[in-house]
Amino acid sequence: MGEVIDFLTTAQNWSGRSGIPARTASHLWLSIVAVAVASAVAIPFATWMSHRHRGTALAVALVNIGRAIPSFALLALVLPVSIRFGLGLGFWPTAVAMIALALPPLFITTFTGMRSVPPEVIDAAAGMGLNARQRLRQVEVPLALPQILTGVRIATMQVIATATLGALVAFSGLGSFIEEGRASFDRGKYLTGALLVILLALAAQSALLAVERRATPWRHQG
């Protein structure tokens, strides 16, 4: 613990592009971009698939296969493609790999949430004169929202933790402290990196839980 305190109390570790604030901000920004892009893809697609009677089993199977691919393998697959298309090292290959990592939990939770809406509730809404789009917006999505938000929270935690692997492809985030500390046998540096990742994940989880409480107040009444 003393080595961590020494690292945290060294002034030069708090300044510059390799300092704690810069790398924390970079790590957080990449995580936000990855989860936002994955949400924009997975949530509408899962919502659409939940209303189909064909192809859903195949879609779920493909998503589950994606969940089985190790994160390091995802990064290794994305890297040559990124270089081939001129995106280089660092942010973009890491972001693409993290987007791929975030897609499965977002798809599964949204799909499950939409499918769990009771048919009688949908029928009642139709009986009240709501068309398909109105039923989706006013009935189905609100009822599925808790599970959708749970998926966002799970995806965010996974991305924040796994984005540390970006250090292996020159992404300057919190994983850089871990990789540099490991390579130089600097316990204070890599332990600080690990601690900062944990704290960032906990802060993100708290923020997302607060959003969930505000978005679904009926679940927390009483």
221 domain residue, yes or no: no
Between residues 101 and 65, the one the model is more confident about = 101
Tokens of 66: 């994606």
pLDDT at 181: 95
CA distances from 126 to 44, 116, 143 (A): 22, 17, 16
Evaluate if residue 210 carries a pLDDT over 70. yes
Residue 188 near residue 3 (C-beta atoms within 8 A): yes
What pLDDT is recorded for position 75? 84
CA dist 108 and 39 (Å) reads 12
pLDDT band, residue 131 (cuts 50/70/90)? confident
- Determine the pLDDT at residue 15: 92
The number of folded domains in the chain is: 1
* Average pLDDT value for residue range 31-51: 94
Rounded CA-CA distance 66/76 in Å is 15
| Residue 129 structural domain | 2-10+18-216
Look at residue 222 and tell me whether its pLDDT is greater than 60.
no
**DSSP designation for 120:** H
What integer is the mean pLDDT of 188-202?
A: 96
pLDDT band at residue 114, thresholds of 50, 70 and 90?
Answer: very high
Query: Is the confidence at residue 98, as pLDDT, over 70?
Result: yes
The verdict on residue 151 lying in a domain is yes
Query: How many Cβ atoms from other residues are within 10 Å of residue 67's Cβ?
Result: 12
Phi-psi region of 86 (alpha: psi -120 to 50; beta: other; left: phi over 0): left
Q: What is the pLDDT of residue 123?
A: 86
Question: Which whole number is the average pLDDT over 74-87?
Answer: 82
Q: Mean pLDDT over residues 46-64, rounded? A: 78
Give, for 143, the enclosing helix (H) or strand (E).
helix 141-162
Q: Establish if 222 belongs to a structural domain.
A: no
pLDDT score of 69 more than 80:
no
* Residue 167: pLDDT over 70: yes
Alpha helices in 50-129 (DSSP H): 56-68, 71-84, 91-115, 119-127
Q: What is the pLDDT of residue 37?
A: 97
CATH of the domain at 109: 1.10.3720.10
What confidence tier does 13 reach under pLDDT thresholds 50, 70, 90?
A: very high
Domain for residue 128, yes or no? yes
Alpha-carbon distance of 34 to 101, in angstroms, equals 9
Which structure tokens are listed for 10?
């060294």
Would you say residue 220 has pLDDT above 70?
Answer: no
pTM: 0.90
Cα of 132 vs its chain's centroid, Å: 30
pLDDT at res. 214: 87
